[in-house]
Amino acid sequence: MVWQPEIDELEERKALAHKMGTPDRVQRHHDRGHLTVRERLDRLVDPDTFRERGVLAGKATYDDDGNLTEFIPSNYVMGVAKIEGRSVVVGGDDFTVRGGAADGAVGGKAGHAERMAVELKVPIVRMVDGTGGGGSVRTIENIGRTYIPGNVNWEVMTRALSEIPIVATAMGSIAGIGAARVAASHFSIMIKGNSQVFIAGPPVVERAFGKPIEKEELGGSQIHVHGSGVVDNEVDTEEEAFELIKRFLSYMPANAWQLPPVCESTDPWDRREEELLSLIPKDRRRPYNARKMIELIVDQGSFFEIARHFGPSQIVGLARLGGRPVGILANDPTKSGGSMDGAASDKYARFIDLFDTFNLPIINLFDQPGFMLGTAAESSGVARRGVRALSAVYQATVPWATVVVRRAYGVAGAGHQNHARWNYRVAWPSGDWGSLPIEGGVQAAYRRDIEAAEDPDAYRAELEERLSAMRSPFRTAEAFNMEDIIDPRDTRKLLCEWVELVYQSLDTVTGPKLRGTRP
């Protein structure tokens, strides 16, 4: 029992750390509808798997005899754990200690967590609260000077984007570097009405512009999930956020060197859905339910959509076919006809990069009428943003399958795959493609003839009818410009077969990509 006094002191210090901030601060945190960081950890990870690192880090006060009289723990809690049996690094800000600000941190624990995840090659989950380790002007008084910002640990966070899955949740009102830590992720979540994300909070904004502003108005989920795209998904409660974290990670490999985890599927490959036969309207101007189409093709219940409200004409998400994870791309014809505007271009590029980084074969259920037209689209820089999206297509190295379900027009339509590679490409009988839609293209190509005609409208209609007779996808297949025209009901079976085939050689594309990864 020689070391029993030291063991007793160890346990006492751990107990002090687990108390977090003062009881009244913990109570105020609960009163605002928030869980504490340790409650969040308990709900997120598998029971009895969290192994904390740095529990003893904090700011201590001693009496003249060297006895501990006060201990304020570091405001960042981190360690290794398991989520559904798989190893992760997880860390979160303790808002009850200096609101998560940098002057409540000790020893750079947040950066240590990032480096640990990168070295162990496992995913990291960030639960960001308050400033998320950001600065406070109170620091100036504490250190007696100001300083040039340096974004400490940014190099390891940048490296992590190319190597390990990163999930970030905004758990409260988050400003500065905390907002950056949320955005610098592969998947991010906000809690509606209970979390906000901003570069600077309302007091700073009011001082800058002389007008008061509420937190929700400045950086609520309506701003960032439904507008800016800074954050991907929103939920009503913290518990729902934990479920989304688990679901996202279930599709991901531990790192860029590994393959996505395959699970057993009870959904038959040869399931034929009759609804697919009539899903696409004969009238090319009518929309359809693209999400229903995806659900009918992939393993039942496996489609996990990401960033639904940003760039809504482009659908992105994760799914399984025969139990094998894949990345899903599709167009939503109920939003701007499915056309590619600036936001949709950004979304297309970002998620192609995500799928490529983590070795997820891509399935593109394509219905693209082209880049968005008009002055607003031109002013938004759709040409440059669209080119970036097309570059992502050509930089991707994972296997790629395209099913042209309806339209493929113009430069954006050509972006359904990398034409310098072999990709599995088939179409439904509803396929309709070309440099321009015939209806608009006739006016451009035959303008003088139409204007010179005795009856311009009748002549234009005659030209459109004559050219429309040549738009059959079977004529394209005759020239082997399309690998096959398929019965829509066979789509699932053919894609399941393709996914099984490409998974056999998927390990040849593993490892960090030369392009790197940007959030």
Domains of the chain: 35-54+74-251 (3.90.226.10), 274-428+486-509 (3.90.226.10)
Exposed, middle or buried: residue 47 (CB in 10 Å: 0-12, 13-18, 19+)? exposed
pLDDT, residue 40, reads 97
Residue 290 pLDDT: 98
* Confidence (pLDDT) at 440: 63
Give residue 443's pLDDT. 67
pLDDT for the residue 454: 80
Query: Tell me, what's the pLDDT at 427?
Result: 97
pTM assigned to the model = 0.92
Cα–Cα nearest to 368, from 311, 300, 414, 420:
414
Neighbours of 178 (CB within 10 A): 28
**d(Cα 110, Cα 277) in Å, to the nearest integer?**
52
Distance CA 90, CA 123 (A): 8
**357: nearest Cα among 196, 141, 515, 218:** 515
Nearest alpha carbon to residue 365 among 331, 337, 388:
331
- Report pLDDT for 470: 67
d(CA 455, CA 451): 8
Tokens representing residue 301 in the block: 């219940």
Cβ neighbors of 387 (< 8 A, separation 6 or more) are none
Note the pLDDT of residue 84.
97
Rounded CA-CA distance 437/406 in Å is 12
pLDDT at 289: 98
Q: What pLDDT sits at residue 444?
A: 67
Spell out, as residue ranges, where the chain has pLDDT lower than 70.
Answer: 99-105, 107, 131-143, 147-151, 435-444, 463-465, 467-470
Structure tokens at 297: 């093709």
436-492: pLDDT as tens digits: 666 666 666 777 877 787 887 887 777 666 766 667 888 888 889 888 999 999 999
